[in-house]
Structure 1
Amino acid sequence: MKSLHSAQFIVSQSIDSDAIFTLLQHEFSLHETDHTRLKCHYLDTFDWRMYQKNYVCSWYQTANKRAKNREGIFFIHEKETGNSICELPLSRVPKFSKDINHQAYRSMLDNILGIRALMTVAVLTVKRRQLIILDEEHKTLALLQLEQYTIDESADDDQPAGRLIVCPVRGYPKVFKRVVQLVTEQLKLPHSREALLDEVLTVTGKRPDTCKLTGFQELESSFSTWEAVRILLQHLFSVMQANEYGLREAIDTEFLHDYRVAVRRIRSILGQIKHVFPDKLLAYFKREFSWLGTVTTPTRDLDMYLLKFDGYIQALPDDLQQHLEMFRLFLQRHWKIEHARLCRALDSKRYQKLTSEWQKILANADMPLQREMSTGSQAQETCNAAEPARIVARQRIWKLYKRILKEGGSITPQSHDEDLHELRKSCKKFRYLIEFFQDYYVGKSMKQLLKTLKQLQDNLGDFQDLCVQIEQLNGFAEQMQQEGLADTKTIMAMGVLVERLNERKTALRAEFRRQFESFIQPEKKAVFVEALRVQQHEGVTE
């Protein structure tokens, strides 16, 4: 038999709640079991991962501070049906999947959240009356909940409507259907057409729109280079701004990561799309965004060590694993120091000047017109600003592609590690530009080609990460000894860890050639050549 979902009805403020129960008492035996006031925290990640998977995540706690038991309950519901997936007692609002002590639910959350933290997206006060329908033998036939809601920090006249929730009990479907019939036909209460969370988000003006953080505005073929670049830079700056609060508060490591990626992409545009900004202005912004990349690096590096730490432990023999814990404490201590330095940098006059000047530039929609009124060297400095973006971008992407072929083709087993690092940087710039201007390069072949490029980048990225880790781990060991934080066993454990990382580095170096050859296969190369070839009549200034 198909299971029944709970039914939810809208109850406006003008409806007398007692009248609802009076009607039902004519036909059923009703008993009130609870009359309470609750505080509900709706939870999701910054990028709304639970919502995107059609789940509603919440944590309820009684709002009565005098209550003896104030332990909260953590819920996961299906957004569309309201069906409960998870109900667990938790003393506090969970932040990460690791805070859930139930293995199956923790695994479920881990698959959805990854390393992202749950954040409170709305706080709701719930006044709830709960009644049960009993038969003559005092068996529960159905459950009724009448709820009224108040959104914290929202005007009294701008609140969600109340709800009557009718919950079925297994084995008594006829009672459930009869209650729903009475509520629908006699009380004429309308069914709720949307999840309560959606109504709360509407009232608060919040929308789970992740596109504004992940996708670029479509670039039209008629756009000038400045028009296209301005749109891209505005988007990337908005990503920086959206992530700044989270990185300051250290909510999770992805805020700093996404902030740094936005900075890196801005730097890529400034460096790769030539002759759009006046030289003096370009030099200033390239220098300042480079500084921003530098001041965020130490905290990000320490984030990565802490994220990888469990893997480091597993790489060691059992008898050495416990001796690595002093290294974890060292990393945590220095992370606090570096994060404080980062926050001071973001509070500095230098940063405020950078963001202020950047906003002024992005607000200027008339740079091509200003260039046309310029003369001499200044006009030459911005000569590509008014050129078609699709042509300027294609020329630059084509040039980067040829650089990748040259750099990758010259790498041999005897090449220095730095040569692979330079190729990695070229690949990253190349991929960024294709992603920026992807509207000009469509088709499944190009997408498949980018997948191959991603695999090559992963190989080069992992290799470079290991190069850095091996060098820094040796430095950390010396620093820990100087600070009196490492005994002989800890240094030995770190030495073994470096050996394991070196083994992995050697394997990745051997894998590089296969990945590169896959990337430059003739049929894949032909797709790039066809898509990116620059015609003679499309010449622009490099």
Structure 2
Amino acid sequence: MPVSTLCHYPGITDKCMFPDQACWLDNGKMEKVSAKNMESTNNNSVEFVFKQKADMDAVYELLCREYSLHETFHVQLKRYYLDSFDWRMYQQDIVCGWDVPNNKHHLKVTNNQYIKSREGVFFIQNKDTGSSLYEFPFDHIPRFSKDISHQTCRQMLGDILGIRAFMPVVIMTVQRKQLLVLNKEHKTLAILQAERYTINGHTVEKRLHDRLIVFPIRGYKKVFKQVLQYITEHLKLPPAGNTLLDEALAAINQTPVSNAFTLTQRLPDSLTTWEAAQILLRHLLNLMQANESGLRHAIDTEFLHDYRVAVRRTRSILGQIKHIFPGKLLAYFKREFYWLGTITTPTRDLDMYLLKFDGYMYELPPHLQNDLVPFRLFLERHWKVEHARLCQALDSKRYQKLISQWQQMFASKDMHSQSDTLLLEQTSPQETFNATKPAKQVVSERIRKLYKRVLKEGRTITPESHDETLHELRKTCKKFRYLIEFFHDYYPDKQINRLVKKLKLLQDNLGDFQDLCVQVDQLNCFAEQMRQEGLADTRTIMAMGVLVQKLTARKAAVRAEFRQRFKGFIQTDKKAAFRHAFSLKRTDT
């Protein structure tokens, strides 16, 4: 059954899971319930659910008849449950959130004293057990894991989130009342915490079931068990079956499914080529639209990245699966999606330079590192300009027309009726003769052609070849891999996974080389542009020059690794696995 961390207020330290609670007793004396007196972990705490709204007051009265209770405080909090856009923490069974006192309410203790505070509490719990992993004061919702000051917590979140930002997934108001179970000597035997929840941010506020949480005190396990037995048998409160976060997500019809953001879809063998393409293209459009708001608001750089990947894969289907679109229709969409890739490139490029900036500084000797700071300011300044231009393009009639007409393509399974609806041309059957063929047949033929192209292009590359030849091979490898990943259901997993693993190693090398080529050229252009704009002095230009030298040396090293990576890809056993997976005759390679 779910368990919970103890109330954060008032008083908390980041050295223990439980806060020290300052409690005023009826005789005017104050007892401090220390974390030392509580169980070393809260794995034994138990949550019960109030099934009816009136239960909380009724249960309180019944508990008072059986036990000597003392209310220590009554507080109203605003709780923000946090996760990444793709639910990375939830998928790792982690619950993360931030609690802050409500603006209109202060913490109240029974001697009419008030504690005023706007400092919140950042907490992380294990979703399955409810045990507290981290809990410490924090005065705002962090944007990234790197903003967390707690070192071990920051490292754990960094491993899970990477460069993804925190986003509120549920916002709720929590009304919390804490009660102490006392003996005749006013010693605390157990702690009860009653909580009432209201989900905010919707047209109609949603109420969740109230909960009663029971915490043990070290040395009084017998009393703890008696309280649990009394609540279960006499008060008839059922234990909580779900975590509070899961209950809240269900109430707002939110499903934290990470695979909704994957780039592939399940494809039955029975599909025609047009039906398969329709499924894939519709899913890629959904990914674009799912990421559009995040890239507009610049929540994190992954929104634009994932948007561009969906655009790039859309272009790959348009270019690689031949003869399923009418000619003029295909030309229109290829042109418009190329434009969409073009307008998103400047912002993405600047994103990458900003992400790499710390690495750039570490490339330099310590005495030159601070001289690179003006370069960061230059990147940030131009990023704002390019991001504004991107948002303007996404607001344009051209973009709206593209998305509208693209959606019409998926309104029916009949390609010919869609081309008539779009009024671009009368469809010629010769232009779409692959549309009704089995998808596996058409795609396998195209994959075989791309495989042979990869082998041909790779074998012609020598140490003297121009850098552009490696870039062309990189693009062919990308098209090849996209088709394999799109239609992976059609082929044996074992052979395909081995092939793709070697292909990825080759692509990593080609991708690193291309990135370094672009960076070397672009950094020289940036340095000249900064000089013209009066944003860089001699020391900054010199530091950027040293950086270019470092990247040029690394570029040469990556280039030297290419031949070994390519040999690994074309090994005899890998070619045999490919022939088997794609039914390729030995003479074809």
Using structure 2 for the length normalisation, give the TM-score.
Answer: 0.87
What residue number does 2:525 align with? 475
Query: What is the CA–CA distance in structure 1 between the aligned matches of 2:416 and 2:453, rounded to whole Å?
Result: 30
What residue number does 2:373 align with? 325
What residue number does 1:113 align with? 161
What residue number does 2:241 align with? 193
**Alignment CA distance shift 1:473-1:215 (3 Å):** closer
1:138, CA displacement in angstroms? 4.1
Structure 1 stretch 215-224 or stretch 478-487: which is displaced more? 215-224
> CA offsets per residue over residues 292-318 of structure 1, 9 Å max, x none?
000000000000000011100000001
What residue number does 1:458 align with? 508
Structure 1 stretch 156-165 or stretch 82-91: which is displaced more? 156-165
Q: Which has the higher helix share?
A: 1
Write the mapping of 1:364-379 to structure 2, written as runs, cut at 5 A: 364-367=412-415, 378-379=428-429
What residue number does 1:417 align with? 467
Match of 2:271 among 223, 226, 232: 223
- Asked if the contact 2:267–2:489 (Cα under 8 Å) also holds between the matched residues in 1, the reply is yes
What residue number does 1:540 align with? none
**SS of residue paired to 1:129:** strand
How many aligned residue pairs are there? Answer: 533
Give unmatched runs, 5+ long, in structure 1: 537-542
Structure 1 stretch 215-224 or stretch 350-359: which is displaced more? 215-224
The aligned amino acid for 1:85 is L
- Asked if the contact 1:33–1:131 (Cα under 8 Å) also holds between the matched residues in 2, the reply is yes
What residue number does 1:163 align with? 211
Match of 1:261 among 303, 306, 309: 309
Query: What is the CA–CA distance in structure 2 between the aligned matches of 1:90 and 1:228, rounded to whole Å?
Result: 49
Q: Does 1:528 align with 2:567?
A: no
Query: What is the CA–CA distance in structure 2 between the aligned matches of 1:14 and 1:129, rounded to whole Å?
Result: 15
Query: What is the CA–CA distance in structure 2 between the aligned matches of 1:528 and 1:307, rounded to whole Å?
Result: 37
- Asked if the contact 1:267–1:286 (Cα under 8 Å) also holds between the matched residues in 2, the reply is yes
1:368, CA displacement in angstroms? 6.7
Q: Does 1:174 align with 2:213?
A: no
- Asked if the contact 1:459–1:512 (Cα under 8 Å) also holds between the matched residues in 2, the reply is yes
Q: Does 1:342 align with 2:390?
A: yes
**SS of residue paired to 2:409:** helix
Query: What is the CA–CA distance in structure 2 between the aligned matches of 1:343 and 1:468, rounded to whole Å?
Result: 25
1:205, CA displacement in angstroms? 1.1
- Asked if the contact 2:76–2:105 (Cα under 8 Å) also holds between the matched residues in 1, the reply is no
Write the mapping of 1:195-210 to structure 2, written as runs, cut at 5 A: 195-210=243-258
- Asked if the contact 1:37–1:64 (Cα under 8 Å) also holds between the matched residues in 2, the reply is no
Query: What is the CA–CA distance in structure 1 between the aligned matches of 2:127 and 2:105, rounded to whole Å?
Result: 32
**SS of residue paired to 2:171:** strand
The aligned amino acid for 2:336 is E
- Asked if the contact 1:314–1:321 (Cα under 8 Å) also holds between the matched residues in 2, the reply is yes
Q: Does 1:380 align with 2:430?
A: yes
Write the mapping of 1:217-256 to structure 2, written as runs, cut at 5 A: 217-256=265-304
**Alignment CA distance shift 1:353-1:155 (3 Å):** closer
Query: What is the CA–CA distance in structure 2 between the aligned matches of 1:2 and 1:93, rounded to whole Å?
Result: 28
Query: What is the CA–CA distance in structure 2 between the aligned matches of 1:21 and 1:369, rounded to whole Å?
Result: 68
What residue number does 2:339 align with? 291
1:88, CA displacement in angstroms? 1.4
How large is the Cα RMSD of the aligned pairs? 2.0
**Alignment CA distance shift 1:355-1:521 (3 Å):** same
- Asked if the contact 2:83–2:168 (Cα under 8 Å) also holds between the matched residues in 1, the reply is yes
- Asked if the contact 2:265–2:486 (Cα under 8 Å) also holds between the matched residues in 1, the reply is no
1:273, CA displacement in angstroms? 0.2
1:116, CA displacement in angstroms? 0.1
- Asked if the contact 1:5–1:81 (Cα under 8 Å) also holds between the matched residues in 2, the reply is no
**Alignment CA distance shift 1:404-1:171 (3 Å):** farther
**SS of residue paired to 1:362:** coil
The aligned amino acid for 1:340 is A
Match of 1:47 among 86, 92, 96: 86
> CA offsets per residue over residues 347-405 of structure 1, 9 Å max, x none?
0000000000000012121127889xxx9981111010000000000000010000000
Match of 1:433 among 483, 493, 505: 483
Query: What is the CA–CA distance in structure 2 between the aligned matches of 1:393 and 1:5, rounded to whole Å?
Result: 57
Using structure 1 for the length normalisation, give the TM-score.
Answer: 0.95
> CA offsets per residue over residues 3-43 of structure 1, 9 Å max, x none?
64321111133443233233333443321111111111111
Using the aligned pairs only, state the percent identity: 62
**Alignment CA distance shift 1:215-1:326 (3 Å):** closer
What residue number does 2:5 align with? none
Structure 1 stretch 216-225 or stretch 400-409: which is displaced more? 216-225
